[in-house]
Amino acid sequence: MAKAGGILKNTFTVGAFTALSRVLGLVREMLQSRLIGAGMEQSAFTLAFAIPNMARKLFGEGALTAAFVPIFTKTLNGDGDEGDRAANLAVAERLARSVMTMVLLMLAAIVLLAFGVLDVVANFREELGIQDIERFNLTASLVKTLLPYMIFICGAAFGMGVLNSLGRFKASSFMPCLLNLCWIGVLAGMLFFPKLSLSQRIHWVCFAILFAGVVQMCFLFWRMHIAGITPRLSFSDWANESVLQVWRNLGIAALGAGAVQLNYLLDQLLAYYASPWAAGVIGYAERLMDLPLGVIGVAFGTVLLPTFAGLFSKGDEEGARHALASSVQSLMFVMLPAAAGLFVLAPEVTSVIYEGGAFGAEATMRVSRALAVYAIGLGFFGLTKSMVPWFQAQNDMKTPLRVSVSMVAVNATLNILAVVLLPVEWRHVGLAASTVICAAIGCALLLALAKRKNGRLGLAQCLRPLGAMLSAAVIMAVVLFAVRPFFAGLNRIVALGALIAVGMFVYAAVSLVLLRGQVKMLLRRRRIPSK
């Protein structure tokens, strides 16, 4: 049976490095909001950066990792004979090299094709009805700069999947910090060049991201080599059954991830046309939401995929159930109060993190509205990151695909209605609400389909603790709403810190009353060494 302490220990390891990355990300966003603001330049950058991020989800840490990790883990385990570990590692290394080579070549071809498409669109922009030439030219220029980044970040994400399968989570968790450090470095450098235009500043940011991609890929490849899997180009074994199975799974997983990314890209495009600032505003709100989601939700998702894959490969379905139930409780113990806190304190959080320089009070109001809506869906976003690996670990890529595809039409309909029916100042809020609604529906479908596939999931034991956690989070939100006026006259940083402290105290006190056993168990599991 899976050891809950082992899962939590790895999750805390991933979460700690992810927390460091998110803190660096907040520093980055504080600098960028003040130096670039939330206008046309930030909106163009948000759309341009969405393209390599979409490729990362499709061919990196999303679909490729989901398709590759279960088969790579099964290859490492072999027939379960520890004496064959060296032989299994050699076979797994050949598999990794073949898949990596094919992916990098495919990405290089996609980048070259995308450059050609951009040139064609630029030559026919009048025929295509593109009127805002300045915004189009800026966006196209940023896209061209960032396109090669998808090769480097997908290579790094592949290395992350290999290391996670080997139980080495530290290096892959530290990787995002490298991007943030490079990004912060170039933003800090701009402070010495105050005469740079906003367009020049955002181009500097893009070049920093491109450089960071190279650093990230080299770092992960180096860590792979140390772990015993040396990354080299390999043009053999392409017809190996394991390699072909990876590509079959990748095709299905990419369709599922593609549906999710299509939703995301549709959000960005509709925001781009909803108003000149909407895409940038939504991007700022998403990054604030990503602080708890990235630290906790992504950490659990990162650890659970190789954990589930190992358990299912050994036929230990009961262990997988236990791991799922334990992880859901631990995940929601953090996600629910984070959601309640962000919902109530969205204006204060946005003001402290972003406001200043080119980012004014009006931008704060816009971002905080979207953030409050995103906060409602935080639990659904986190639960999805725990449920999708459940299917992927069983080499079932079709179920997440069906759920993702079913959400495309719902998301598109809600997004279009938001842009058409809502006032300009509320269209971005409608786009955020559409994302939350789709996440809730998707969670319900994943749970129902998992139960149909595997029977009992062991989640019934979570109902009472989850109800108590939700009650504690609601009580915390009510108290925060009631005491907010008493902190209005303080410095905004001091006020936010005091409100967070009050919220943590209230949630902890109520949890100790309603969840004494679960809190003790969670703390005890944290101290259990990984087996």
% of the chain with per-residue pLDDT over 70 = 85
Return the sign of the alpha-carbon dihedral for residues 503, 509, 510, 511: positive
**Total residue length of the chain:** 531
Task: Label residue 436 by pLDDT band (50, 70, 90).
Answer: very high
Predicted confidence (pLDDT) at residue 6 exceeds the cutoff of 60: no
Predicted confidence (pLDDT) at residue 166 exceeds the cutoff of 70: yes
Give residue-wise pLDDT tens across range 268-292. 677 767 777 777 788 788 888 877 7
Residue 41 and residue 139 in contact, taking contact as beta carbons nearer than 8 Å: no
Give residue-wise pLDDT tens across range 97-134. 888 898 889 889 989 998 998 888 877 776 666 666 77
Residue 379 forms part of a structural domain:
yes
* Single-letter amino acid code for the residue at 196: L
Residue 306 forms part of a structural domain:
yes
- Of 407 and 4, the one with more pLDDT: 407
Predicted confidence (pLDDT) at residue 4 exceeds the cutoff of 80: no
Within 166-292, residue ranges assigned H as helices are 170-190, 198-227, 241-274, 278-292
Residue numbers of the domain that contains 66: 4-526
Give residue 529's pLDDT: 37
Give residue 531's pLDDT: 35
Task: Label residue 526 by pLDDT band (50, 70, 90).
Answer: very low
Average pLDDT of every residue of the chain: 82
Burial class for 296, CB neighbours closer than 10 Å (0-12, 13-18, 19+): buried
Task: Determine the 3-state secondary structure of 356 from DSSP.
Answer: strand
Give residue-wise pLDDT tens across range 29-81. 889 888 888 778 888 888 888 888 777 766 656 677 777 877 887 787 765 55
Give residue 60's pLDDT: 59
Return d(Cα 12, Cα 20) in angstroms, integer. 12
Residue 439 and residue 377 in contact, taking contact as beta carbons nearer than 8 Å: yes
Task: Determine the 3-state secondary structure of 463 from DSSP.
Answer: helix
CA-nearest of 204, 200, 199, 160 to 184 is: 204
- Count of beta carbons in the 10 Å neighbourhood of residue 127: 8
Secondary structure letter of residue 80 according to DSSP: S
Residue 233 forms part of a structural domain:
yes
Give residue 328's pLDDT: 85
Contacts of 404 (CB under 8 A, 6+ apart): 255, 256, 257, 258, 259, 260, 442
Predicted confidence (pLDDT) at residue 482 exceeds the cutoff of 50: yes
Task: Label residue 2 by pLDDT band (50, 70, 90).
Answer: very low
Query: What values do phi and psi take at 356, rounded to 5?
Result: 140, 150
Residue 163 forms part of a structural domain:
yes
Give residue 517's pLDDT: 64
Give residue 527's pLDDT: 44
Task: Label residue 187 by pLDDT band (50, 70, 90).
Answer: very high
DSSP run (H or E) holding 87: helix 85-123
Residue 33 forms part of a structural domain:
yes
Q: Rounded to an integer, what is the distance from CA 134 to the centroid of its chain?
A: 31
Task: Label residue 262 by pLDDT band (50, 70, 90).
Answer: low
pTM (whole model) above 0.85: no
Predicted confidence (pLDDT) at residue 215 exceeds the cutoff of 50: yes
Task: Label residue 340 by pLDDT band (50, 70, 90).
Answer: very high
Predicted confidence (pLDDT) at residue 366 exceeds the cutoff of 70: yes
Give residue 129's pLDDT: 65
Task: Label residue 240 by pLDDT band (50, 70, 90).
Answer: confident
Give residue-wise pLDDT tens across range 300-332. 666 677 778 778 877 788 888 888 888 888 888
Residue 74 forms part of a structural domain:
yes
Return d(Cα 210, Cα 207) in angstroms, integer. 5
- Of 184 and 405, the one with more pLDDT: 184
Total domain count, the chain? 1
Give residue 84's pLDDT: 67
For the ranges 114-128, 277-291, 438-452, 454-468, the one whose mean pLDDT is highest: 438-452
Contacts of 435 (CB under 8 A, 6+ apart): 263, 267, 374, 377, 411
- Of 38 and 481, the one with more pLDDT: 481
Contacts of 501 (CB under 8 A, 6+ apart): none
Contacts of 132 (CB under 8 A, 6+ apart): none
Return d(Cα 22, Cα 18) in angstroms, integer. 6
CA-nearest of 418, 306, 328 to 380 is: 328
- For the chain, counts of helices (H) and of strands (E): 19, 0
Return d(Cα 5, Cα 9) in angstroms, integer. 6
Residue 531 forms part of a structural domain:
no
Q: What angle do CA 178, 182, 184 make, to 5 degrees?
A: 115
Task: Determine the 3-state secondary structure of 3 from DSSP.
Answer: coil
CA dihedral 378, 383, 384, 390 (to 10 degrees): 170
Give residue-wise pLDDT tens across range 470-480. 999 999 999 99
CA-nearest of 439, 311, 316 to 379 is: 439
